[in-house]
Structure 1
Amino acid sequence: MAGSRNAVAQYREYSMPFITLSQAPHLLPDVARWYFDTWGHRTPGATLEDEQQRLEVFLHDNELPMLLIAMQDDVPVAAAQLKFHERTERPERLHWLGGVFVHEAHRGQDLAARLIETLMARAKGYGVREVFLQTERDDGGLYARLGWEPLERQTHRTGVPVRVMRRVLPLTGKPPA
């Protein structure tokens, strides 16, 4: 766990404002393009327009689900989501981290870790007790370093094998304003 604390300490040095998609709805096409080009194109018949429609669920204030965007000089450079029911075969697994994307020019600066930790802090504020994710990295990669525990291997609907992981959050605080 010491490695996890070091990762947290390192990313705090890198400062960049975060906003929700609901605060900047004009960024929806940019984020949709990132997601479609990275993952969405793998789904047979899926289109960029489908991805844009899927992201409309994040266009509201002060509630879940939430899509957080990192900005640099008024340009989006990274995003991550806290959403509901990523894998419908396990309905008891309600809250999911997903869509963690960092533009290639900003990778290697612990920005993904900072986005994830910010989303987890907000999730705790909403009383979320546990969050799940799926990753193509069998060892969990960044998520393992941030304290996520591996649960099982599954196959994504696109046929890609994924590792499902979980993180338990301590209950504290009230929803953020």
Structure 2
Amino acid sequence: MQSDITLQRLSADDPNVVLVSGWTFEAWGHLHPGLTQEQAIQHLKAECGQGGVPSIFVAIQGETPVGTASLIADDMSIRREFTPWLASVFVVPEWRGQGIASALVRRIEVEAAESGIERFYLYTPDQQALYRRLGWQDEESLEYRGENVTVMSRQLGL
């Protein structure tokens, strides 16, 4: 990752909330039929915790946000027994391939470990290789809201 990129906790009053919400709404809004952009902004603000679950981090290059990732309690309605979740890992297309997603995932892992979380989850339709490289393991493959996804888990503290 470029050395001039920092990872910062997002707060509900941060001016970047609207931008970050726009990224996640554009990328995954189709998984939540009926969700409006305004509702997505309010939902994101509610996930801006002070530490642990929930937390959202943003990768910043200079003054420019270039990526985000979240630690949330629930990301898959059909797997409520799985909690918490790594969610909404997103890097602006022109910044991809520079290790930013990996750095964001690692930051969420630190946040989880510092909160006493021993195991947490994610689901992805197409980034299994990235997460496997970072130590995540496949749990199951299934269809979720019209997409074929892999549910993965990460055991911390081993």
- Determine if contact 1:25/1:59 at 8 Å carries over to the other structure: no
The aligned residue for residue 133 of structure 2 is 145
| Paired amino acid for 2:5 | M
Residue 33 in 1 paired to residue 22 in 2?
yes
| Paired amino acid for 2:153 | R
Return structure 1 stretches of 4+ with deviation > 6 angstroms: none
Any unmatched runs of 5+ in structure 2? none
Aligned mates of 1:18, 1:88 — CA distance in 2: 29
Greater relative CO (CA pairs within 8 A, separation 6+): 1
Residues 170 and 15 of structure 1: is their aligned pair in 2 closer, same or farther, counting only changes over 3 Å?
farther
| Percent of aligned pairs sharing the same letter | 33
Residue 160 in 1 paired to residue 157 in 2?
no
Task: Tell me by how many angstroms 1:24 deviates.
Answer: 5.8
Q: Deviations over 1:23-42 (max 9, x none)?
A: 76211100111011111145
The aligned residue for residue 8 of structure 1 is none
Residue 127 in 1 paired to residue 116 in 2?
yes
| Paired amino acid for 1:162 | V
- Determine if contact 1:21/1:68 at 8 Å carries over to the other structure: yes
Aligned mates of 1:36, 1:149 — CA distance in 2: 27
The aligned residue for residue 66 of structure 1 is 55
The aligned residue for residue 6 of structure 2 is 17
Q: TM-score, normalised by structure 1?
A: 0.82
RMSD across aligned positions (CA): 1.9
- Determine if contact 1:67/1:81 at 8 Å carries over to the other structure: yes
Higher helix proportion (structure 1 or 2):
1
Q: Deviations over 1:14-58 (max 9, x none)?
A: 451111111762111001110111111453322211211211222
Quick check: which has more Rg, 1 or 2?
1
Any unmatched runs of 5+ in structure 1? 1-10, 172-177
